[in-house]
């Protein structure tokens, strides 16, 4: 026997003994979870994963941050094409339509059922569940980190103009901004007009006013949906924003210019912003010493019957092509995340809101919302549950929505730079957005959204 | 009799070339071929299948006004940044070559910018050129609103041109300095003794002698300005405002990776490749004639 042959024999023996030893040692089944959060939030996810691994001995989840949502989806697609996909992946809200048509997932509700977990889907806040559910109401993925936008207002500044309450209508906002300006505030309100702000400026505004973003119930009923924001109340909203910007009542704040709007609010530079409840913690941590501020629901135009706001954030998808053991682990992991105690941990350490009624009740019973710094975050739940979701306030389900948001940013910038009129800009948004939608539809011939 | 070392059979020559050919094939021709195939189909991002669409992708791209805007933005960017980077580097190299006081210091320092990764330098320039917080805030204080890359397309374009040129000044400088130092000192000294001044000597002796270097850098700078601009655009402007800095290479990235339109992005990269090939051919055909190789 040569040395090489002996080596092989030894290796084979070793492999055999390891294989035989597995049942005796019961090594935990490992599976991958890829997520798109970074920084502080990534550390919280890591702790969450550690808590899961410590809570039982059968499974071990390996959590890897991919940096951001876009990269997570891109990397997952690349991995899937190479057959090396993770078992669980976090996909952002606007990726939902793409995921549904991918044929690359295992429906979350089926997974839980097969593995003997009973999940009460009616426990999810309807506004959250409907965003991710199919048109028939099946949950293909599990809501994870969820948020909704709020209006942050500086109580000190509003006190100077004799106001103790946040404005409820855009008409009031206009009057208050004018008064703030007259009282010597240089930046009464801050907005940004990049792709990201499509969320609070276009999508949420449309939901609150029960206005469609696209035909076919915002895309829920078919891939042939097309945009129609150039003929809804949204036109008036953009016109007003532009008018207030021209009058110096609104300033544009973005990271590229030096200071983003959350910083501008926290430092007391600007007195009013619209941003995610997820920034509640950041404002609290970075605010100017002694500044009094609060949050309120986004304003609506006078005479509007307020509807629920939309959920933002991401959901957890289980991908196809994995082993039964890995699916068992994934089901246990999703069940762990679904637990109200996890909801408390998650919301305490991030700004995200609980996604289930039981989670919310549990947090309330623990006194979470009673005192600073968490007081005020319950407004997000009020906003999300302001009404039963209507056909068009379930959410927005359009293909390649990331590109439509980018188009939103482009056209808003053109409008605010006076290159085009409001109507021209929104017409261009619809035209270019429709081309994106048509292309998406063409890519998936004969397929329909579940 | 002349003794020549040759291989008996041509197969041996081929065998020696094979490793190289395999590398080129795997990392260049195969992916390029794949891109051509993708550009003629509509690919589902998750690999669920594709359909043959012929030249439809090209047709829809070329009939899109945004794409033509992207091409012209790329050409403006390439023209101005190449011009800036090369002329500044040329002047700096000429001065350093004259052994002015402290030239040893410039020689070292001016090479550094090229060593900085594009995203890092873009981040630095974002701070420097930020209208509210950076160096330009001073300018804005004197003339309010004069500098606003967040909304003004030309300001944003100027920002990325400055950042890109700054990086390539360092690169060009090394080559120009080497070219200047390769010129025999006796030529310059002879001209000086004949009474010609610094400027005269530059235009009549040094400049003609470094034309091969100028030509080389022109080709490299133009090619790089189409390809290496990605990191700077991504960090500084993300293609905005209103697509003013949406250069071709950035559009490929955002359509392909953010928009998951792999086929459209593949078609765009084919067009970009053809454009760079065309530009390079033009340069070789028409500009190289005026280059004097020694």
The Cα of B159 is separated from the nearest Cα of chain A by a number of Å equal to 11
Mean of the per-residue pLDDT values of chain A: 90
- CA dist A109 and A102 (Å) reads 17
* DSSP summary character for residue A351: S
Instruction: Give the best residue of A92, A257, A428 to mutate against chain B (max B CB count within 10 A).
Output: A257
Query: Does pLDDT of A111 surpass 60?
Result: yes
Q: Is residue A54 very low, low, confident or very high in pLDDT (cuts 50, 70, 90)?
A: very high
| Per-residue pLDDT tens digits for B63-100 | 999 999 999 999 999 999 999 999 999 998 988 888 77
Q: For residue A24, what pLDDT is reported?
A: 47
Q: Where are the domains of chain A?
A: 28-147+311-365, 149-309+399-443
Residue A117 confidence (pLDDT) above 50: yes
Residues A346-356 pLDDT 10s: 988 888 999 99
Residues of B within 8 A of A94 (CB-CB) are none
- For the cut 80, the answer to whether the pLDDT of residue A411 exceeds it is yes
C-alpha B7, offset from chain centre: 41
Which residues in chain B have Cβ-Cβ distances shorter than 8 Å to A432? 66
pLDDT of A21: 45
Q: How many CA atoms lie within 13 A of A416 on its CB side?
A: 31
The full length of chain A comes to 450
Q: From the CA of A252, how many Å to the nearest CA of chain B?
A: 9
Query: Minimum mean pLDDT among A12-21, B113-122, B214-223: which range?
Result: A12-21
- Judging contacts by C-beta atoms under 8 Å, the chain A residues touching residue B253 are none
Q: Are the beta carbons of A419 and B242 separated by less than 8 Å?
A: yes
Q: Cβ(B123)–Cβ(B237) under 8 Å?
A: no
Predicted pLDDT of residue B145: 78
| A352 close to A280: Cβ distance less than 8 angstroms | no
Q: What is the mean pLDDT of residues A98-109?
A: 92
Cβ–Cβ gap B259/A102 under 8 Å: no
pLDDT at B4 over 80: no
pLDDT at position A406: 92
pTM of the model: 0.87
Give the pLDDT band (50/70/90) at residue A414: very high
- Distance, in Å, from the CA atom of A129 to the CA atom of A141, rounded to the nearest integer, reads 10
Answer yes or no: is pLDDT of A13 > 60: no
B241 CB within 8 Å of a chain A CB:
yes
- Domains A28-147+311-365 and A149-309+399-443 agree in fold: yes
CA distances from B287 to A444, B204, B218, B224, B279 (A): 48, 19, 10, 18, 11
Please report, to the nearest 10 degrees, the dihedral formed by the alpha carbons of residues A196, A202, A204, A207 taken in order.
-150
Nearest CA to B252 out of B231, B225, B235, B230 is that of B230
* B112: confidence class by pLDDT, cuts 50, 70, 90: confident
| Cβ separation A257–B260 shorter than 8 A | no
pLDDT at position A41: 87
Residue B127's pLDDT band, with cuts at 50, 70 and 90, is confident
Whole-number percent of chain A with pLDDT over 70? 94
Q: Report how far residue A313's alpha carbon sits from residue A145's, in angstroms, rounded to the nearest whole number.
A: 5
- Residue B174 burial by Cβ neighbours in a 10 Å radius (0-12, 13-18, 19+): middle
Domains of chain B by range and CATH? 60-290 (1.10.3720.10)
pLDDT of B7 reads 65
Q: What is the mean pLDDT of residues B219-229?
A: 92
Measured in angstroms, the CA of B266 and the nearest CA of chain A are apart by 15
Contact with chain B for residue A198, Cβ under 8 A: no
Q: Is B256 helix (H, G, I), strand (E, B) or coil?
A: helix
Nearest Cβ partner for B254 among A259, A406, A442: A406
Query: In this prediction, what percent of chain B has a pLDDT beyond 90?
Result: 53
Residue A187 · residue A271 · CB < 8 Å: yes
Of A23 and A341, the one with more pLDDT: A341
Chains A–B, number of C-beta pairs less than 8 Å apart: 98
From chain B, pick out residues whose CB is under 8 angstroms from the CB of A417.
Answer: 151-153, 241-242
- Look at residue A372 in the predicted model and tell me its pLDDT: 80
Tell me the pLDDT band of B101, cut-offs 50, 70 and 90.
confident
At A1 the pLDDT is 42
Alpha helices in A116-154 (DSSP H): 126-132
Assigned CATH topology for domain A149-309+399-443: D-Maltodextrin-Binding Protein; domain 2 (3.40.190)
Any chain B CB within 8 A of the CB of A229? Answer: no
Encode pLDDT of A209-253 as tens digits.
999 999 999 999 999 999 999 999 999 999 999 999 999 999 999
For the domain A28-147+311-365, what is the CATH superfamily, name and number? Periplasmic binding protein-like II (3.40.190.10)
What would the two tokens of residue B97 be? 């070559």
Please tell me which of the candidates A80, A413, A442 has its beta carbon nearest to residue B47.
A80
pLDDT computed for residue B283 by the predictor? 87
A348 touches chain B (CB under 8 A): no
Q: Does B200 score more than 50 pLDDT?
A: yes
Integer Cα distance of B26 and A49 in angstroms: 40
Phi/psi at A310 (5° precision): -95, 155
pLDDT at B22 over 60: yes
B18 touches chain A (CB under 8 A): no
pLDDT value for B49: 79
Helix (H) or strand (E) holding A273: strand A272-276
Chain B nearest CA to A29, separation (Å): 27
Contact A257 B131 (CB under 8 A): yes
| Interface predicted TM-score of the whole assembly (ipTM), two decimals | 0.84
Cβ within 8 Å of residue B60, ≥6 positions away: A435, A439, B264
Would the CB atoms of A403 and B255 count as touching at under 8 Å? yes
Chain A residues in contact with B263 (beta carbon < 8 A): 443
């Amino acid at each position: 026997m040569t040395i090489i042959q002996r080596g092989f024999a030894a290796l084979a023996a070793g492999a055999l003994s390891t294989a035989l030893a597995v049942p005796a040692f019961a090594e935990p089944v490992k599976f991958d979870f890829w997520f798109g959060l970074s920084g502080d939030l990534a550390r919280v996810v890591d702790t969450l994963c550690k808590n899961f691994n410590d809570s039982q001995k059968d499974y071990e989840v390996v959590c890897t941050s991919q940096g951001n949502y876009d990269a997570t989806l891109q990397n997952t697609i690349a991995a899937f094409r190479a057959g090396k996909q993770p078992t669980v992946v976090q996909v952002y809200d606007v990726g939902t339509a793409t995921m549904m048509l991918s044929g690359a997932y295992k429906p979350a509700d089926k997974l839980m059922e097969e593995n003997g977990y009973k999940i009460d889907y009616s426990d999810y806040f309807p506004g959250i569940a409907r965003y991710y559910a199919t048109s028939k109401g099946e949950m293909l993925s599990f809501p994870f980190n969820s948020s909704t936008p709020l209006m942050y207002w500086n109580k000190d500044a509003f006190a100077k103009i004799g106001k103790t309450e946040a404005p409820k209508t855009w008409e009031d906002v206009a009057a208050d901004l004018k008064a703030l300006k007259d009282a010597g505030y240089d930046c009464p309100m801050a907005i940004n007009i990049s792709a990201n702000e499509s969320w609070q400026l276009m999508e949420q505004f449309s939901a609150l006013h029960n206005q469609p973003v696209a035909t076919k119930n915002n895309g829920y009923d078919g891939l042939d949906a097309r945009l129609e924001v150039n003929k809804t109340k949204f036109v008036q909203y953009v016109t007003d924003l532009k008018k207030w910007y021209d009058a110096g009542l609104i300033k544009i704040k973005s990271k590229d210019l030096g200071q983003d709007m959350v910083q501008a609010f926290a430092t007391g530079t600007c007195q009013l912003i619209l941003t995610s409840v997820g920034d509640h913690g950041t404002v609290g941590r970075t605010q100017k010493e002694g500044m009094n501020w609060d949050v309120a629901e986004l304003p609506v135009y006078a005479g509007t019957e307020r509807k629920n706001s939309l959920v933002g954030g991401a959901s957890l998808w289980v991908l196809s092509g994995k082993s039964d053991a890995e699916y068992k682990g994934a089901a246990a992991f999703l069940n762990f995340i679904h637990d109200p105690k996890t909801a408390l941990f998650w919301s305490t350490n991030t700004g995200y809101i609980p996604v289930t009624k039981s989670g919310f009740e549990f947090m309330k019973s623990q006194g979470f919302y009673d005192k600073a710094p968490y007081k005020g975050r319950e407004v997000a739940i009020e906003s999300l549950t302001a009404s039963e979701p209507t056909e068009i306030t379930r959410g927005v389900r359009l293909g390649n929505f990331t590109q439509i948001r980018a188009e939103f940013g482009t056209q808003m910038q053109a409008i605010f730079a006076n290159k085009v009129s409001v109507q021209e800009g929104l017409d261009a948004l619809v035209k270019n957005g429709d081309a994106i939608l048509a292309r998406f539809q063409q890519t998936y011939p004969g397929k329909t959204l579940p | 009799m002349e003794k020549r070392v040759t291989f008996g059979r041509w197969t041996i020559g081929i065998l020696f070339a094979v490793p190289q050919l395999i590398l080129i094939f795997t990392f260049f021709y195969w992916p390029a071929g794949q891109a051509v195939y993708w550009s003629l189909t509509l690919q589902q991002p998750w690999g669920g299948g594709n359909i043959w669409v012929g030249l439809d992708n090209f047709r829809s791209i070329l009939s899109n006004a945004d794409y033509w805007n992207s091409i012209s933005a790329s050409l403006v960017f390439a023209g101005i940044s190449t011009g800036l980077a090369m002329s500044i580097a040329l002047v700096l190299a000429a001065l350093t070559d004259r052994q002015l006081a402290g030239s040893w210091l410039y020689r070292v320092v001016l090479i550094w910018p090229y060593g900085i990764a594009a995203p890092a330098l873009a981040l630095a320039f974002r701070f420097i050129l930020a209208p509210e917080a950076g160096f330009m805030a001073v300018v804005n204080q004197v003339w309010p609103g004069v500098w606003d890359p967040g909304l003004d397309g030309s300001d944003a374009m100027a920002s990325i041109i400055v950042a890109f040129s700054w990086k390539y000044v360092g690169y060009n400088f090394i080559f120009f300095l080497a070219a200047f130092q390769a010129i025999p000192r006796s030529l310059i000294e002879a001209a000086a003794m004949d009474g010609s001044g610094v400027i005269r000597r530059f235009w009549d002796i040094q400049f003609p002698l470094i034309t091969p270097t100028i030509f080389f850098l022109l080709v490299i700078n133009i090619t790089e300005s189409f390809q290496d601009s990605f990191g700077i655009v991504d960090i500084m402007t993300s293609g905005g405002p209103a697509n003013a800095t949406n250069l071709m290479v950035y559009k490929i990235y955002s359509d392909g990776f953010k928009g998951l339109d792999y086929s459209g992005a593949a078609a765009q990269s084919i067009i970009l490749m053809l454009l760079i090939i065309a530009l390079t051919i033009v340069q070789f055909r028409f500009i190289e004639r005026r280059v004097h190789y020694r």
